[in-house]
C-alpha cells in the first residue's frame, strides 16, 4: 500500500487462472482490487458466475466497460455480427 491506497489490481475474467491469482494474493495477505472488464462478448454463464459466485470467494468485483458510441448503421452491423457469433 502507498499512502493507504491499494496498488494491486487483479483482473478477473471468470476463469481459473484469475481466480487462482486472487486466492494467492489473499494467502499472501496482499490487498487488491478485483476488476472485471465487460467486453459485452462473454457467455451469459460467465456473467452470472462473475456476478453471483466469485464475489463470495474473492470479495467485491469492480465492473468496467467501454461501450462505444455507434451510429444507426454501425449498431445494425454490430448486431448482425453478434447474431452470427
User: Range of 75's domain?
Assistant: 9-84
- The pLDDT assigned to 2 comes to 60
Query: Does 77 map to a domain?
Result: yes
Mark residue 12 as left, alpha or beta (left: phi above 0; alpha: psi -120 to 50; beta: remaining). Answer: beta
Query: Does 4 map to a domain?
Result: no
Residues of the chain scoring pLDDT < 50: none
Into how many domains does the chain fold? Answer: 1
- The pLDDT assigned to 1 comes to 58
| Closest by Cα among 40, 30, 73, 5 to 22 | 30
Is-above-0.75 flag for pTM?
Answer: no
Query: Does 2 map to a domain?
Result: no
Amino acid at each position: 500500500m502507498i499512502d493507504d491506497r491499494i496498488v494491486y489490481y487483479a483482473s478477473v475474467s471468470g476463469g481459473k487462472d484469475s481466480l487462482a491469482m486472487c486466492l494467492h494474493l489473499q494467502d499472501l495477505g496482499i490487498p487488491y482490487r478485483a476488476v472485471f472488464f465487460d467486453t459485452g462478448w462473454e457467455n451469459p454463464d460467465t456473467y452470472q458466475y462473475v456476478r453471483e459466485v466469485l464475489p463470495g470467494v474473492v470479495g467485491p468485483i469492480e465492473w468496467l466497460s467501454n461501450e462505444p458510441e455507434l451510429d444507426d448503421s454501425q449498431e445494425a452491423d454490430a448486431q448482425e455480427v453478434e447474431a452470427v457469433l
